[in-house]
């Protein structure tokens, strides 16, 4: 679709802005803009301001680096959470994914990425030092490494493990279980995952 | 995804706003919001303001009812366009579609819908009277009806045809050709379309 064919610069500009988003092409952008044009002025003002407000006012929790409206996020400041367990994740999305499982009641630590020399991301680009500080200063008993089971994730796991081991204060370091995903057919599981799931087999429990 | 699990009201609000758009679910909304968070404040301000500005400042051309930044749209005010031919379309999107073909050099008239008793849309809800006025007052030679070949489109075509026929000033009324789409296999064309394409066959021209 050629830009010059729009009769309105405002329309063209709005379409261009939508088309900058990942996964939204110019045709979808046009459809979304025409949808917004059918909404009331107030609704569109709310729409646009939601993102402006988010970008300008959002904070990152100074304790766990999670996205937050306040200096310390609602998870870190919740007295019902177990403050002795830290789950280390790559990004904010992973916090949401784990929260959605409702299986974890501890605190988080958002690294902001994983060590990836190919992308020029080294340990100092990540929130690793603040993790070591938390372990040294707070009464942490367990650090759960919940990074993706990729080369970069494993490298980062190993780096953090070494850092914590040499930091003086003993702490239990665990990783999330790797194994055959629930609902998957065994024959489609890759060899490494299947092999690991045999090595790391767990005691059979009824009703689990 | 449960709303209450977000650590930030601002984030939640931004996700809700995206999820109101057609075809965007909560997972996509989260992805888009996290993308915006990685952009600069200025870029996000431009993003949000593009829609606010569009919704607050957009005008509809007083001549053809097309979307416009000015009182009269850039198509109507373009001296290079043929002012004697009006193409009647359902909505703004159809103007863009026809403009993209680069096969039409006349002016448009945007009805703002088609007659649809099921949806409670009658002739008076559409820009039909202003079309009849344009034909009466301007030197119009041909009115091309470019509505969708649906029951509602055909009803609207007939209504406009009758209105123009009884308005006093003679004008040629045409409709866009219906037939087998270019690139389609004949065996998949429906009977009515195929039948019409035989009745309305055109003289074979080389190189067309």
In chain A, domain spans: 3-57, 78-176
- Which residues on neighbouring strands pair with residue B82, listed in sequence order? B106
* CATH assignment of A3-57, among 1.10.1740.10, 1.10.10.10, 2.30.22.10, 1.10.8.420: 1.10.8.420
Q: What 3-state class would DSSP assign to B1?
A: coil
**What is the rounded CA–CA span in Å between residue B206 and residue B181?**
19
Region A78-176: CATH code: 3.40.1360.10
Contact B32/A47, CB-based, under 8 Å?
Answer: no
Q: Name chain B contacts of A36, Cβ cutoff 8 Å.
A: 21, 51, 54-55
Pinpoint the alpha helices (H) of chain B: 9-19, 26-37, 41-57, 92-101, 129-137, 151-165, 191-199
- Chain-centre distance for alpha carbon B59: 15
Q: What is the pLDDT of residues A79-93, one digit of tens each?
A: 999 999 999 999 988
Tens digit of pLDDT at every position of chain B (208 positions) = 444 467 788 999 999 999 999 999 988 999 999 899 989 999 999 999 999 999 999 999 999 999 998 899 989 999 999 999 999 999 988 998 888 888 899 999 999 999 999 989 999 999 999 999 999 988 899 999 999 888 899 999 999 999 998 887 889 999 888 887 877 787 787 888 888 878 887 777 665 4
Tell me the Ramachandran region of residue A207: left when phi exceeds 0, alpha when psi lies from -120 to 50, beta otherwise: left
Contact A36/B49, CB-based, under 8 Å?
Answer: no
Q: Name chain B contacts of A23, Cβ cutoff 8 Å.
A: 28, 31
Same fold, A3-57 and A78-176: no
- Looking up tokens 């193409």 gives B87
Predicted local confidence at residue B3, as pLDDT: 42
Region B81-176: CATH code: 3.40.1360.10
DSSP state of A189: S
Vertex B96 angle, CA B90 and B98, to 5°: 80
The mean per-residue pLDDT over the stretch A168-192 comes to 82
Q: Name chain B contacts of A74, Cβ cutoff 8 Å.
A: 7-8
From B152, B131, B154, B155, select the one nearest B143 (Cα to Cα): B131
**What is the rounded CA–CA span in Å between residue A104 and residue B162?**
70
CB neighbourhood size of B166 (10 A): 8
Torsion of CA B50, B52, B53, B57, to 10 degrees: 140
Contact A17/B68, CB-based, under 8 Å?
Answer: no
Predicted local confidence at residue B195, as pLDDT: 81
Burial of A53 (0-12, 13-18, 19+ CB in 10 A): middle
Predicted local confidence at residue B97, as pLDDT: 86
The mean per-residue pLDDT over the stretch A125-146 comes to 92
- Which residues on neighbouring strands pair with residue A121, listed in sequence order? A116
**pLDDT grade, residue A47 (50/70/90)?**
very high
Q: Among partner residues B17, B22, B69, which is closest to A50 by beta-carbon distance? A: B17
**pLDDT grade, residue A61 (50/70/90)?**
very high
- The CB-side HSE value for A21 (13 A sphere, CA atoms) comes to 28
The structure tokens listed for A185 are 């057919």
**pLDDT grade, residue A2 (50/70/90)?**
very low
Q: Name chain A contacts of B67, Cβ cutoff 8 Å.
A: 7-8, 11, 37
User: Best residue in A10, A18, A37, A62 to probe B by mutation, most B CBs within 10 Å?
Assistant: A10
Q: Among partner residues A7, A9, A39, which is closest to B75 by beta-carbon distance? A: A7
Interface confidence, given as ipTM, is 0.76
**What is the rounded CA–CA span in Å between residue B156 and residue A106?**
64
Contact B22/A35, CB-based, under 8 Å?
Answer: yes
């Amino acid at each position: 679709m050629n830009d010059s064919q729009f009769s309105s610069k405002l329309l063209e500009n709005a379409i261009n802005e939508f088309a900058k988003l990942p996964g939204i092409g110019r045709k979808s952008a046009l459809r979304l803009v025409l949808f917004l044009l059918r909404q009331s002025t107030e609704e569109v003002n709310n729409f646009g301001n939601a993102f402006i407000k988010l970008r300008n006012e959002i904070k990152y929790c100074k304790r766990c680096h999670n996205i937050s409206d306040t200096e310390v996020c609602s998870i870190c400041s919740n007295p019902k959470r177990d403050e002795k367990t830290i789950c280390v994740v790559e990004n904010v999305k992973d916090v949401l994914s784990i929260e959605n499982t409702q299986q974890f009641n501890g605190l988080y630590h958002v690294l902001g990425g994983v060590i990836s020399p190919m992308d020029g991301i080294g340990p100092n680009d990540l929130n690793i030092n603040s993790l070591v500080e938390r372990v040294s200063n707070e009464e942490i008993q367990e650090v759960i490494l919940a990074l993706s089971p990729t080369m970069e994730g494993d490298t980062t796991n190993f780096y953090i493990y070494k850092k914590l081991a040499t930091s003086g204060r003993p702490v239990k370091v665990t990783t999330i279980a790797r194994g055959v995903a629930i609902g998957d057919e065994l024959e489609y599981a890759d060899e490494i995952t299947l092999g690991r799931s045999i090595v790391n087999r767990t005691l059979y429990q009824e009703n689990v």
